[in-house]
Amino acid sequence: MSGILRELLCVSEKAANIARACRQQEALFQLLIEEKKEGEKNKKFAVDFKTLADVLVQEVIKQNMENKFPGLGKKIFGEESNEFTNDLGEKIIIRLCPTEEETVDLLNKVLNGNKLASEALAKVVHQDVVFSDPALDAIEINIPQDTLGVWVDPIDSTYQYIKGSADIKSNQGIFPSGLQCVTILIGVYDIQTGVPLMGVINQPFVSQDLNTLRWKGHCYWGLSYMGTNIHSFLPPVSTRNSSETQSQVTPNPSSEAECSHPFSAVISTSEKETVKAALSRVCGERIFRAAGAGYKSLCVVLGLVDIYIFSEDTTFKWDSCAAHAILRAMGGGMVDLKECLERNPNSGLDLPQLVYHVGNRGAAGVDQWANKGGLIAYRSKKQLEAFLSRLLRHLAPVDAHT
With beta carbons less than 8 A apart as the criterion, state whether 145 and 286 touch.
no
Pick the catalytic residue: 7, 156, 271, 336? 156
Burial class (CB in 10 A: 0-12, 13-18, 19+), 78: buried
Rounded distance, CA 286 to CA 284, Å?
5
Query: Does 367 belong to an annotated binding site?
Result: no
- Of 155, 174, 267, 309, the catalytic one is 155
Which secondary-structure segment (H or E) carries 206?
strand 196-208
Q: Is 339 annotated as a binding residue?
A: no
Annotated active-site residue in 319, 326, 336, 376 = 319
151: nearest Cα among 192, 194, 181:
194
Q: How far apart are CA 17 and CA 204, in angstroms?
A: 8
Cβ proximity of 55 and 18 under 8 Å: no
> Is 105 part of the annotated catalytic residue set?
no
CA 264 to CA 171: how far, in whole Å? Answer: 13
Task: Count CB neighbours of 260 within 10 A.
Answer: 9
> Would residue 156 show up in a list of annotated catalytic residues for this protein?
yes
Nearest residue to 200 via CA among 318, 317, 325:
325
Sheet architecture: strand order including 148-156: 76-78, 148-156, 183-190, 196-208, 215-225, 228-231
Per the annotation, does 153 bind a ligand? yes
Of 55, 42, 50, 53, whose CA–CA distance to 88 is shortest?
42
Q: Which residues pair with 207 in a beta bridge?
A: 216
289 dihedral zone (left: phi>0; alpha: psi -120 to 50; beta): beta
The question of whether 245 is a catalytic residue gets the answer no
Cα four-point dihedral sign 130, 131, 134, 140:
negative
Q: Is 133 annotated as a binding residue?
A: no
Was 79 annotated as part of a binding site? yes
- Choice among 7, 59, 153, 190 that is catalytic: 153
Given the residues 48, 66, 79, 244, select the one marked as catalytic.
79
User: β-pairing, 183-190 with 148-156?
Assistant: antiparallel
158 catalytic, yes or no? yes
| Cβ within 8 Å of residue 316, ≥6 positions away | 79, 153, 366, 369, 370, 371
Are the CB atoms for 199 and 324 separated by under 8 Å?
yes
Active site residue 184: no
Catalytic positions, please? 54, 79, 153, 155-156, 158, 319
Q: Per the annotation, where are the binding residues for Mg(2+)?
A: 79, 153, 155-156, 319
Q: Per the annotation, where are the binding residues?
A: 79, 153, 155-156, 319
